[in-house]
C-alpha cells in the first residue's frame, strides 16, 4: 500500500486590500491618499474582518451604501476591483520536491520569506463601471499600487492629447481584449492621475478646484500637462492667479509655471504678481519710502516703519544687478539732507527766545541720522559717514551755545560711532578717528549726564568701552593727550563723565610697564 504523507498546504494567493474611496455627487473622484494606501498595505486586518469572507462582504457593502456615486452619464462610479496581475481564483499545485526545498529554505531564511509574502500584498483600486465603459486605463504606481479605471474613450480622447494619440493607434487592445487598455507605468503620483482623469468629466474644472490648496493644484497641473489636458492646465492657472500664495508657495508656483511661458497658456498674469514692467526702478521706490519715513512726524509710525525698513534692508543687504553703488549714494544723500537741515536748526536754537518747536525738529533730525547710521552699519558702508560727522566742526562749535535739553540727543550720534569703532563695525582711518575725538568727545562729555537720564537706549558701559577702544587705536602720544584731558574732567565731574579707567590702564602699561620700543633697542 502506498505510503501516505501529509500534503503541503497550497500557497495563498495574493490578497487584495480594499481602500476607502469616495465620489462626490457631482462625479468628482476623491482618490485615497498615498498614506491611506500604505496603511492598508501594512495593516492586513484594517479593512478585513476576522470572521472570514462574510465579514468582509458585509463591511464592503456597508461602505458602498455609505458613499454616493454619480450616474454613468455624468462620471464613472467607484468600486473595488481585483488586481489584473493577481488572480485569486487560480491556484497551482507546486511539485512536492520543490515544495520541500522551499520549506527548508523558508525555515533557514524566515525574514526573506516574510519579504516575499509582503510583495504579494498588492493593492488594486478600481474606478468606474466596466459594463458601461469602453476603455480601461491602468496606472502602475509605487509599492505595488495599481489603479484600474473603466472610462470612456471619447471623453478622454476629446480632453487629452496623450490619450488621443494612444487611442489613434491601430492596435489599442492588449491580447485581443474587446475593451482597449492604455497602460501608464511608473506613476509617481497615481492619486493625482486619477483625480485629473476625473476632471475630464467636468464641464468647468476650475470650479472643482475651489476647495483644493495650492500645493495640490500644482500637482494636478503637472499631471494635466503630462497628459496634454490643456483645459485643466488653464483652469489650474486661473486658480493660481486668483488665490493668495502663502510662505514657500510663491517659490513653488513660480518654478512650476516658468517653463510654460513659451506655450500659449498665458502665464503673464501670474508672473506679474512677482515681476513688474513699471518704469519706476526699485531704487526710486526705496528713495520714496525713505523720504516718507524721514519726513514723518508721528512718533509711533516713525518708530515702527523705521524698524520695519531696517530689518528688511538687513535681510536683503546684498544688493544685486549692480545697484550697490546706487543704494550707497541714496543713503548718503539722505544723510547729507539731514545734516543740512540740522545746522540751521542749531543756529536758530543758539539764539535767545527760540521757539520750542526747534527742539522738536532737532530731536527728529537726530533720530533720522541715527536710523541712517544703523542702515549704513548693516550695509557695511559707514566709514564715510564717520568722516562726514568728524568734519562737522561748525556744528560742534554751535553745540556749546545750545541749552543742554535741546542739544543732548545730537551727542547720541557721536556715542553710536564710538560704539561702532569699538566693535569693528566701521574702519575709519587714523586721522578720522583722531578728528572725531577732537571735535565731538568734549560735547559728549558735556551731555553725558543728560544722555544717561533721558535716553532709554543709552548703554553707558557699551559707550565707555567704545570710547576707550577708539582712543587706544591711536598713536601713544595721542592716547596720552586725550586720556590726560579726560582725567582732569573725570576728577571734577565723577559719574557725570565717561569712565575710561580701563583704557587708562592699557595706556599706563604701554607707557610705563612694557615700553616695546625700548625693549627692542
The pLDDT > 70 percentage for the chain reads 69
Mean pLDDT of 288-304: 92
Which of 4-13, 113-122, 497-506 has the largest mean confidence? 497-506
Q: Enumerate long-range contacts of 492-501, CB under 8 Å, 24 or more apart.
A: 493/445, 493/448, 495/449, 496/448, 496/449, 497/445, 497/448, 498/444, 498/445, 498/448, 498/460, 498/463, 498/464, 498/467, 499/464, 500/464, 500/467, 500/468, 500/471
pLDDT greater than 70 at residue 315: yes
Tell me if 212 sits within 8 A of 238, measured CB to CB. Answer: no
Report the pLDDT value the prediction gives residue 189, as an integer from 0 to 100.
83
pLDDT at 11: 45
Residue 391 pLDDT > 80, yes or no?
A: yes
In tens, the pLDDT along 44-86 reads 444 333 333 333 333 333 333 333 333 333 333 333 333 333 3
**Span 154-162, mean pLDDT?**
91
To the nearest whole number, what is the mean pLDDT of the chain? Answer: 76
Q: Give dist(CA 450, CA 384) in Å, integer.
A: 28
Lowest mean pLDDT among 28-32, 267-271, 329-333, 337-341: 28-32
Contact 75, 23 (CB under 8 A): yes
Residue 260 DSSP label: G
- Using pLDDT thresholds of 50, 70 and 90, give the confidence band for residue 437: very high
Tens of pLDDT, residues 468-496: 999 999 999 999 999 999 999 999 988 88
Query: What integer pLDDT is reported at residue 435 of this predicted model?
Result: 97
Tell me the three state secondary structure of residue 30. strand
Give the three cell numbers for residue 378. Answer: 548693516
Model pLDDT, residue 520: 54
Q: How confident is the model at residue 135 (pLDDT cuts 50, 70, 90)?
A: confident
Amino acid at each position: 500500500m502506498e505510503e501516505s504523507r501529509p500534503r503541503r498546504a497550497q500557497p495563498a494567493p495574493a490578497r487584495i486590500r480594499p481602500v476607502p474611496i469616495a465620489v462626490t455627487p457631482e462625479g468628482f473622484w476623491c482618490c485615497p491618499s498615498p498614506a491611506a494606501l500604505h496603511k492598508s498595505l501594512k495593516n492586513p486586518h484594517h479593512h478585513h474582518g476576522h470572521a472570514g469572507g462574510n465579514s468582509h462582504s458585509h463591511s464592503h457593502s456597508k461602505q458602498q451604501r455609505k458613499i454616493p456615486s454619480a450616474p454613468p452619464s455624468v462620471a464613472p462610479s467607484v468600486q473595488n476591483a481585483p488586481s489584473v496581475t493577481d488572480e485569486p481564483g487560480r491556484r497551482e499545485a507546486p511539485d512536492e520536491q520543490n515544495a520541500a526545498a522551499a520549506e527548508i529554505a523558508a525555515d533557514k531564511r524566515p525574514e526573506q520569506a516574510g519579504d516575499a509574502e509582503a510583495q504579494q500584498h498588492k493593492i488594486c483600486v478600481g474606478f468606474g463601471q466596466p459594463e458601461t465603459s469602453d476603455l480601461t486605463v491602468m496606472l502602475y504606481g509605487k509599492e505595488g499600487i495599481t489603479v484600474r479605471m473603466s472610462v470612456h474613450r471619447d471623453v478622454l480622447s476629446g480632453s487629452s492629447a496623450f490619450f488621443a494619440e494612444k487611442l489613434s493607434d491601430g492596435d489599442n487592445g492588449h491580447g485581443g481584449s474587446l475593451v482597449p487598455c492604455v497602460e501608464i507605468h511608473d506613476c509617481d503620483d497615481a492619486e493625482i492621475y486619477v483625480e485629473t482623469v476625473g476632471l475630464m468629466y467636468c464641464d468647468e474644472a476650475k470650479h472643482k478646484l475651489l476647495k483644493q490648496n495650492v500645493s495640490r493644484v500644482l500637482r494636478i497641473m503637472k499631471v494635466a500637462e503630462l497628459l496634454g489636458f490643456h483645459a485643466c492646465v488653464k483652469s489650474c492657472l486661473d486658480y493660481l492667479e486668483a488665490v493668495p500664495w502663502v510662505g514657500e508657495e510663491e517659490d513653488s508656483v513660480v518654478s512650476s509655471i516658468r517653463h510654460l511661458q513659451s506655450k500659449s497658456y498665458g502665464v503673464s498674469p501670474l508672473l506679474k504678481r512677482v515681476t513688474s514692467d513699471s518704469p519706476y526702478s526699485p531704487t526710486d521706490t526705496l528713495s520714496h519710502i525713505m523720504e516718507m519715513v524721514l519726513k514723518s512726524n508721528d512718533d509711533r509710525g516713525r518708530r515702527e516703519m523705521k524698524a520695519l525698513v531696517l530689518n528688511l534692508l538687513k535681510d536683503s543687504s546684498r544688493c544685486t544687478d549692480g545697484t550697490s553703488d546706487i543704494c550707497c549714494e541714496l543713503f548718503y544723500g539722505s544723510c547729507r539732507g539731514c545734516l543740512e537741515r540740522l545746522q540751521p536748526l542749531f543756529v536758530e536754537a543758539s539764539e535767545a527766545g527760540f521757539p520750542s518747536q526747534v527742539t522738536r525738529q532737532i530731536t527728529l533730525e537726530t533720530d533720522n541720522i541715527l536710523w541712517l547710521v544703523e542702515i549704513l552699519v548693516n550695509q557695511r558702508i559707514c566709514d564715510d559717514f564717520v568722516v562726514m560727522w568728524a568734519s562737522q566742526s561748525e556744528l560742534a562749535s554751535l553745540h556749546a551755545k545750545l541749552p543742554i535739553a535741546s542739544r543732548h540727543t545730537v551727542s547720541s550720534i557721536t556715542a553710536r560711532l564710538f560704539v561702532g569703532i569699538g566693535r569693528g563695525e566701521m574702519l575709519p582711518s587714523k586721522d578720522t578717528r583722531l578728528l572725531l575725538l577732537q571735535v565731538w568727545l568734549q560735547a559728549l562729555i558735556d551731555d553725558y549726564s543728560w544722555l544717561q537720564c533721558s535716553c532709554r537706549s543709552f548703554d553707558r558701559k557699551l559707550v565707555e568701552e567704545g570710547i576707550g577702544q577708539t582712543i587706544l587705536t591711536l598713536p601713544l602720544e595721542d592716547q596720552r593727550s586725550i586720556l590726560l584731558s579726560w582725567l582732569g574732567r573725570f576728577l571734577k565731574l565723577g559719574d557725570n563723565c565717561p569712565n575710561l579707567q580701563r583704557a587708562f590702564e592699557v595706556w599706563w602699561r604701554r607707557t610705563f610697564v612694557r615700553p616695546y620700543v625700548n625693549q627692542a633697542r
